[in-house]
């Protein structure tokens, strides 16, 4: 989402770092460019104005002008201000003392509330919460059926209430049923409209007054830009919300809504949706997001994703195989599948510090379908071939290509990349390889 903004800021900071000394005129020029970059990213113009003034006041201080690395000092000031702009600290979800704790999801139709309800439930299940979801949307055709189907396919319990047409009665009955079945949290997927209307708001107010939710979370579509901020502010004014879940953060929107929300309405972004899968929901960390925006990567989130998908026993077994040079095509396939579970390759690469700024990375097109193709090719091999790739001759390559719906050239490319990977692993597993790795000075 922030790719364009990141590239522009990176160019601005490179010019600043290239100067031995900075004066007020240099800083003024840089801030003018930063201002334009933020406005082009669809950040609220008042937020941009305040942001630039805050950075200017800090950047013209003696600690920057007289610093040995003034350019880096300015980058740090911009980073700190971005963190503050997005809330400063992570805002956790609150549950209160009631059992079950009701959490209301509100927002306009099409913002992704129903999918987000399942994503949030999946997240809470991983936090070892006993959670269920229910739909109190009686207006959208098949809303409850959609939630039920999503729940079944993702392992989330859905409390279904058939034959009831009053959202207030549905809310109360769902809470009673969740309490009876021992759930700690109940997520309510409420009705939306194409635009705000007072009937909708009155209905939501009545549900709020009846069930006393622990949290009311507004689901905002990041693709709608500043309109998402305006609608969120209106919901907060009329209903009172506790936070925001920003959906479709993996899209190609300019990202200004995420940078404007906290400043405009004083409510935190608590979660972000980063994909279509039901586990593609992340806690929003202002400091990590600021780091991504400035092209510094997000290694903490990357490690967390890896730990969530990693089987410790399998990891130890893989390490043993690499040491003994026994890394097979079966192992190769399994590792690719594990990487794919962590998200899109482009997102994963963007989290590696400095990688986005390396020469040529900006133009790199990462196609996740390549992993699908590679796994299909390996799946078309016999077990003997997967364990001993050297027996794969010309005839076998033709058979594998035909069985996987690919070409012989695709099979050749896979085997070549696998051979190169084995050579690299063999080299790094030696004493000299480990010493070389320790001596290597990475650009990030």
> What's the pLDDT tens digit per position in 227-251?
888 888 888 888 889 999 988 877 6
8 A C-beta contact, residue 274 and residue 281: yes
How far apart CA 134 and CA 137 sit, in angstroms, is 9
Nearest to 422 by CA among 295, 335, 329: 329
pTM of the model: 0.67
pLDDT at 223: 81
Domain 3-85 adopts which CATH fold? 1.20.120
20 alpha-carbon distance from chain centroid:
37
Q: What is the pLDDT of residues 371-428, one digit of tens each?
A: 788 889 999 999 999 989 899 999 999 999 999 999 999 999 889 888 887 777 776 5
Using DSSP bridges, classify how beta strands 281-283 and 269-273 pair: parallel, antiparallel or unpaired: antiparallel
Q: What is the CATH number of domain 101-293?
A: 3.40.50.300
Q: Parse the chain into domains and list their residue ranges.
A: 3-85, 101-293, 301-439
Residue 134's H or E segment, with its range, is strand 131-135
Dihedral of CA atoms 12, 13, 16, 20 in degrees, nearest 10, equals -150
> How does the average pLDDT of the chain come out, rounded?
79
Instruction: Answer with the residue of higher pLDDT: 357 or 142.
Output: 142
Least confident of 298-302, 356-360, 400-404: 356-360
Is the CATH number of domain 301-439 1.10.287.610?
no
């Amino acid at each position: 989402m922030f790719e364009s903004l990141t590239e522009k800021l990176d160019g601005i900071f490179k010019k600043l770092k290239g100067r031995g000394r900075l004066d007020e005129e240099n800083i003024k020029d840089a801030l003018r460019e930063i201002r334009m970059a933020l406005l082009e990213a669809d950040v609220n113009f008042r937020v941009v104005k305040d942001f630039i003034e805050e950075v200017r006041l800090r950047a013209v201080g003696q600690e920057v002008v007289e610093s040995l690395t003034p350019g880096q000092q300015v980058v740090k000031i911009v980073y700190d201000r971005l963190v503050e702009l997005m809330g400063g600290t992570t805002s956790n979800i609150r549950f209160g003392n009631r059992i079950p704790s009701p959490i209301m999801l509100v927002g306009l139709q099409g913002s992704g509330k129903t999918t987000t309800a399942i994503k949030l439930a999946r997240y809470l299940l991983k936090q070892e919460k006993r959670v269920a979801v229910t739909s109190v949307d009686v207006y959208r055709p098949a809303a409850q059926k959609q939630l039920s189907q999503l729940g079944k396919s993702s392992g989330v319990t859905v409390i279904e209430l058939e034959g009831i047409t009053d959202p207030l009665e549905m809310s109360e009955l769902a809470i009673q049923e969740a309490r009876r079945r021992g759930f700690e949290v109940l997520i309510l997927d409420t009705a939306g409209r194409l635009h705000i209307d007072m009937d909708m708001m009155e209905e939501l107010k009545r549900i709020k007054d009846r069930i006393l939710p622990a949290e009311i979370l507004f689901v905002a579509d990041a693709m709608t830009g500043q309109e998402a901020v305006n609608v969120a502010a209106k919901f907060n004014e009329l209903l009172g919300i506790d936070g925001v879940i920003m959906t479709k953060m993996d899209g190609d929107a300019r990202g200004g809504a995420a940078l404007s929300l906290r400043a405009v309405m004083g409510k935190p972004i608590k979660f972000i949706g980063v994909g279509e899968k039901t586990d593609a929901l992340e806690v929003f960390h202002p400091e990590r997001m600021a780091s991504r925006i400035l092209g510094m990567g997000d290694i903490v989130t990357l490690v967390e994703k890896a730990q969530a998908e990693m089987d410790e026993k399998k990891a130890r077994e893989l390490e043993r195989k690499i040491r003994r040079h026994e890394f097979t095509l079966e192992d190769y396939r399994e590792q690719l599948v594990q990487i794919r579970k962590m998200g899109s390759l482009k997102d994963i690469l963007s989290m590696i510090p400095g990688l986005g700024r390396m020469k040529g990375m900006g133009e790199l097109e990462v196609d996740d379908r390549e992993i699908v193709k590679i796994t299909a090719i390996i799946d078309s091999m016999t077990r003997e071939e997967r364990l001993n790739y050297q027996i794969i001759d010309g005839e076998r390559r033709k058979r594998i290509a035909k069985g996987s719906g690919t070409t012989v050239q695709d099979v050749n490319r896979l085997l070549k990349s696998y051979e190169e990977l084995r050579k690299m692993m063999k080299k790094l597993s030696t004493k000299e390889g480990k010493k070389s790795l320790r001596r290597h000075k990475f650009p990030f």
